[in-house]
Amino acid sequence: MDIIQADKSVQPLSAGLYAELQSDILSGAIPNSSKLTEQAICKKYNVSRTPVREAFRQLEADGLIENIPNRGAFVTGLTRRDISDLFDLRALFEVQAVEWAIKRMTSEDIDKLAETVEFMEFYTLKDDVDKVLTFNSQFHNIIYAGTGNRMIQKTLAIYQTYLKHSAPAKTYTGDYLKTILEEHKAIFEAFESKNPAAGRKAMEYHMAQSKLRRISNYF
C-alpha cells in the first residue's frame, strides 16, 4: 500500500496524494474527526480537485474517512481497538506466512534472510535504530514473498503500513533492539532447520510481544 511517486508521467497524481493523506491520517497529523474539504486539501498539498476526489474515494474505501451527506468528509482514522485488532489479524497471517515460507522458500531465499539477520545484528551493535527497523521490515517482506502467495503478501503489506504509520513517536533503547533481534533470530533458526512448527511458535511469540510493546506505548 505504500506508494512512492517517483515518476508523475507513470503514476497518477492521485496515488501520491492518497499515500500522503493516508500517512497523515494514520499518524495523527490530520486528527480524527477533522473535516476535509477539497479546497483545503488542494491548497495544502498543491494539487487540483480531480486527484483530491480520487484520493477521497480511496480513503473512504479504506474506512479512514467518512462522507456524511450534506456535511462533508470527516476523518475516522484508527481507534485503539482498531490497532489492537490489526495486531491480532496480522499475527494470524504472519504465522501462516512463516509456515508456508519455510516449506516453499529456496536456499537462495534463505540466504537472503540470513543476510538480513546479519545486517540487523550489525546495526543493533551500532545502535542504529532506523537501519534495524529497515532490515526488520525487509526480513518480514522476504518471508511474505517466500510464501508464493500474492494475496497474503498484499494483506500483510497493508497491515504493516497501517501499523507503521499509526505508531506513536518512541525512543528506542538498546535493550529494545537486542530483544527484537533475538526474536528474529529465533524465527530464522526455524528456516535453517526447516521446522514449520518452530517457525509458527517463534512468530506467534514475536507478534504477541510486538503487540505488547505497542500497547505499553500507545494505550
CA–CA gap between residue 154 and residue 145 (Å, rounded): 10
Task: Compute the average pLDDT of residues 44-69.
Answer: 91
For residue 148, pLDDT over 50 is answered with yes
> Does 168 or 108 have the greater pLDDT score?
108
CA–CA gap between residue 89 and residue 83 (Å, rounded): 10
Q: Taking the domains of the chain in order of start, what are their residue ranges?
A: 13-75, 80-218
The pLDDT value recorded for residue 174 is 62
| Residue whose grid cell is 545484528 | 121
| Sign of the CA dihedral with 11 first, then 164, 134, and 24 last | positive
Query: Are the folds of 13-75 and 80-218 the same?
Result: no
Which residues are bridge partners to 68 per DSSP?
Answer: 72
Cell triple for 16: 501520491
CATH number of 80-218: 1.20.120.530
Closest CA relative to residue 179, chosen from 214, 216, 210, 215 = 210
| Whether the Cβ atoms of residue 130 and residue 170 lie closer than 8 Å to each other | no
**For residue 171, what pLDDT band results from cuts at 50, 70 and 90?**
low
Question: pTM of this prediction?
Answer: 0.80
CATH number of 13-75: 1.10.10.10
Which residues are bridge partners to 75 per DSSP?
Answer: 65
CA–CA gap between residue 162 and residue 63 (Å, rounded): 12
Torsion angle of C-alpha atoms 33, 39, 40, 43, degrees rounded to 10: 160
